Amino acid sequence: MKIKCIAIDDEPLALQQVASYIQKIPFLEMVGNCASAFEALEILDNEQVDLMFVDINMPDLNGLEFVKSLSQKPLLIFTTAYSEYALEGLKVDALDYLLKPFSFAEFSKAASKARAQFELMQKAPEKLESNEDFLFIKSEYKLVRINLNDIQYIEGMKEYVRIHLTGQKPVMTLLSMKLVEAKLPVSKFMRVHRSYIVNLEKVSTIERFRIVFDDKVRIPVSDNYKEKFQSFLDENFIG
């Protein structure tokens, strides 16, 4: 299985170098070259991205600000000419920090770290134990307890799901959306899209059939689920 990645750098030569390195590594697949964070945002909205190589010192929106703005983060490797950003890179869970100019050997070593982490996420067995108040899932070879009241929404991402929690880091595990949906109480959780299940108790703002979380995450209600979601709104609407 290939790791789909993008490279982000405002320097054309640096971007070209990263792209050429990616092409030399069999388990990496380039899905986008971006000269700015704004170009990367467009790709992230439309493509599955597993790994990002991100330059930090960019105009308008630097790499750190860009990564911090993401509600759903792929695996991350920073590329930069400034060593003083290393600590900040660790704070946003970067797998590695490549200091320019870096060699192919250094790049390959960082890519191998990403591959190990990616495979670890893929190998977690599909297991979900639950009751009415909490559930246990297998994540990175650990059993993690998740209180249902803490769940904002659940995002399906092909082979795995990401559980987004209030005030906590998301938890990722290898599960099918179908299995997750079957384990959750229907009085509290609703599937509103092929890729999203929401906690109805956390729904506070809807804009044009998009559910807004934390003023920045907007989850679409797809046509297949609009009738069911509209019934929920009608039952709870006053006005």
What is the per-residue pLDDT across 166-191, written as a single tens digit (0 to 9) for each? 988 899 888 888 888 988 998 899 99
pLDDT for the residue 122:
67
Q: Which domains can be identified in the chain, with CATH numbers?
A: 3-122 (3.40.50.2300), 128-235 (2.40.50.1020)
pTM of the full predicted structure? Answer: 0.55
pLDDT for the residue 239:
63
C-alpha separations of 77 from 15, 42, 155, 157 in Å: 14, 19, 23, 20
The answer, yes or no, to whether residue 121 has pLDDT greater than 80, is no
CB 211 within 8 A of CB 198: yes
What is the per-residue pLDDT across 2-57, written as a single tens digit (0 to 9) for each? 999 999 999 999 999 999 999 999 999 999 999 999 999 889 888 889 999 999 88
Query: Coil, strand or helix: which one is 20?
Result: helix
pLDDT for the residue 191:
95
Arithmetic mean of pLDDT over the chain: 86
